[in-house]
């Protein structure tokens, strides 16, 4: 602790651990590929276990394969203040997504142990199983298991080589039928704070190293089909056409305005025309809409307004529309007391408190079902993520880990709950 009462991690040691973990699963085609429960990720887990042990933590693996490093507090029987993230990656990933949260958490707990910093509640750093969902098509497996939302039918999900999650868990010496036992109670985990790279450009634009998430976007995914009539591009006069792409184009511009008005975001990420030839008027347009908002009611209003705009636009041209919901999740609000603890910690290490909405999903979303959550974000260069060029500077990683460290200490000594 320094004169101001704030604690500091060892930035060089954190940076070295990020580099060392990044050498496990180096992909010959660029970046790092450590798919969940792959050989590479299993080697990385051994590295994490070693690091946790070196930090003086009691290490255990739960039934869902989550690695938990724990430092007991001064008061017996208290729920833990937990931090963590994941070390599985997408294909051709960078060094920071997930890794920063796990390694920053270990570094924070190591600092507390080394410096003998007093804390009432026990502290935990958790390395969750399969956050990315790339290998088996379902993500947050470990954090959802811990929050009591494990689904048995996930075991039948298979990767591109046909290996099921059941087989992959057995390969990793886990009993697939016991995964649901990873569930913990609210009394056992009093708070969860995650440190993560932003994966966007907001902090870089603001010139800030660290941001505090006030909420995490909820989302609504739709698949839309507008059907018209495929005709010859030369012989069909404009007034005789039933062109679904023209209807879609009008709707897409309306969708942009609706997102702006509601203060959310909406994206048309895929669009397919059938039959799809240069000299044929399309007979059908199929596209997806990804809409996100930090609050439930505006998210619902966005969905209603967008659905109405699509139907209006198609009807005006005598076309038929079908809209199918593909996926959705409610927004997550960060806990007020954790946001306050993060803000005080920012101040104590000389950073401004910059509030933002987190646009990407994290283990914190799943942990919100179990306990109060908070999220500390750090600046990503050029907003690049899920790519070998993903980058956060050593100074920013250190700043984020310092905020995490002081937040954990604050929460672990908070008697008000």
Q: Which residues of 235-274 are buried (b: 16+ CB within 10 A; e: fewer)?
A: ebeeeeebbbbbbbebbbebbeebbeebebbbebeeeebe
Cβ atoms of residues 380 and 391 within 8 Å = yes
Distance CA(366)–CA(213), nearest Å, equals 15
Query: At closest approach, how far in Å is the CB of 377 from Zn ion?
Result: 11
From 93-101, 140-148, 313-321, 375-383, give the range in contact with Zn ion by CB under 5 A: 93-101
Measured from the CB atom, the residue of 130 and 284 that comes closer to Zn ion is 130
Query: At closest approach, how far in Å is the CB of 287 from Zn ion?
Result: 27
Measured from the CB atom, the residue of 89 and 402 that comes closer to Zn ion is 89
The residue from 40, 41, 62, 97 that contacts Zn ion (CB under 5 A) is 97
The residue from 98, 122, 218, 374 that contacts Zn ion (CB under 5 A) is 98
Measured from the CB atom, the residue of 243 and 396 that comes closer to Zn ion is 396
- Residue 31 contacts Zn ion per CB under 5 A: no
Query: At closest approach, how far in Å is the CB of 324 from Zn ion?
Result: 28
From 37-45, 94-102, 158-166, 256-264, give the range in contact with Zn ion by CB under 5 A: 94-102
- Residue 361 contacts Zn ion per CB under 5 A: no
Q: Using alpha carbons, select from 402, 376, 409 the residue that is nearest to residue 8.
A: 402
Query: At closest approach, how far in Å is the CB of 362 from Zn ion?
Result: 6
Measured from the CB atom, the residue of 93 and 145 that comes closer to Zn ion is 93
What six digits make up the tokens of 254? 């309306």
Site for Zn ion in 177-236 (CB under 5 A): none
Query: At closest approach, how far in Å is the CB of 359 from Zn ion?
Result: 12
- Residue 41 contacts Zn ion per CB under 5 A: no
Which residue has the closest beta carbon to Zn ion? Answer: 98
What is the per-residue binding string for Zn ion in 43-82, x denoting contact by CB under 5 A? Answer: ----------------------------------------
Distance CA(379)–CA(207), nearest Å, equals 9
Measured from the CB atom, the residue of 83 and 348 that comes closer to Zn ion is 83
Crossing angle for the helix pair 244-262 and 296-315, nearest 10 degrees? 160
Query: At closest approach, how far in Å is the CB of 351 from Zn ion?
Result: 22
Measured from the CB atom, the residue of 141 and 302 that comes closer to Zn ion is 141
Interface with Zn ion: number of residues (CB under 5 A): 2
From 98-106, 144-152, 181-189, 207-215, give the range in contact with Zn ion by CB under 5 A: 98-106
Measured from the CB atom, the residue of 73 and 211 that comes closer to Zn ion is 211
Query: At closest approach, how far in Å is the CB of 130 from Zn ion?
Result: 11
Distance CA(146)–CA(61), nearest Å, equals 12
Measured from the CB atom, the residue of 89 and 242 that comes closer to Zn ion is 89
Measured from the CB atom, the residue of 84 and 98 that comes closer to Zn ion is 98
Residues near Zn ion (CB under 5 A): 97-98
């Amino acid at each position: 602790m320094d004169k101001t009462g704030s604690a500091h991690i060892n930035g060089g040691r954190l940076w070295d651990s990020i580099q060392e973990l990044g050498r496990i699963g180096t992909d010959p085609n660029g970046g790092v590929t450590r798919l969940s429960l792959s050989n590479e990720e299993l080697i990385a887990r051994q590295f994490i276990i070693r690091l946790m042990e070196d930090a003086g933590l009691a290490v255990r693996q739960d039934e869902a394969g989550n690695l938990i490093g724990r430092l007991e507090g001064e008061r017996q029987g208290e729920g833990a203040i937990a931090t963590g993230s994941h070390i599985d990656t997408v294909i051709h990933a960078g060094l920071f997504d997930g890794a920063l949260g796990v390694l920053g958490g270990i570094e924070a707990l190591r600092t507390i142990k080394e410096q003998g910093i007093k804390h009432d509640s026990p502290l935990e750093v958790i390395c969750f199983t399969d956050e990315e969902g790339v290998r088996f098509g379902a993500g947050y497996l470990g954090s959802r298991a811990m929050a009591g939302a494990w689904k048995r039918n996930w075991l039948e999900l298979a990767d591109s080589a046909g290996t099921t999650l059941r087989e992959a868990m057995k390969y990793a010496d886990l009993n697939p039928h016991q995964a649901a036992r990873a569930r913990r109670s609210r009394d056992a985990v009093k708070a969860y704070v995650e440190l993560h790279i932003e994966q966007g450009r907001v902090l870089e634009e603001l010139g800030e190293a660290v941001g505090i998430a006030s909420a995490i976007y909820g989302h609504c995914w739709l698949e839309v089909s507008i059907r018209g009539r495929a005709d010859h591009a030369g012989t069909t006069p404009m007034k005789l056409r039933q062109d679904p792409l023209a209807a879609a184009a009008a709707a897409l511009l309306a969708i942009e305005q609706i997102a702006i008005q509601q203060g959310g975001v909406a994206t048309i990420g895929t669009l397919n025309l059938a039959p799809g030839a240069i000299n044929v008027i399309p007979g059908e347009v199929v596209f997806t809409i990804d809409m996100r908002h930090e609050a439930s009611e505006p998210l619902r209003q966005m969905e209603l307004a967008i659905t109405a705009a699509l139907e209006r636009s198609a009807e005006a041209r005598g076309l038929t529309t079908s809209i199918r919901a593909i996926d959705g999740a409610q927004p997550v609000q960060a806990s007020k007391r954790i946001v306050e603890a993060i803000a005080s910690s920012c101040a104590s290490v000389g950073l401004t408190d910059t509030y933002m909405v987190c646009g990407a999903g994290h283990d914190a979303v799943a942990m919100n079902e179990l306990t109060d959550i908070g999220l500390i974000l750090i600046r990503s260069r050029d907003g690049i993520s899920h790519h070998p060029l993903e980058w956060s500077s050593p100074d920013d990683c250190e700043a984020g880990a310092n905020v995490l460290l002081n937040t954990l200490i604050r929460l672990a000594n908070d008697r008000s709950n």
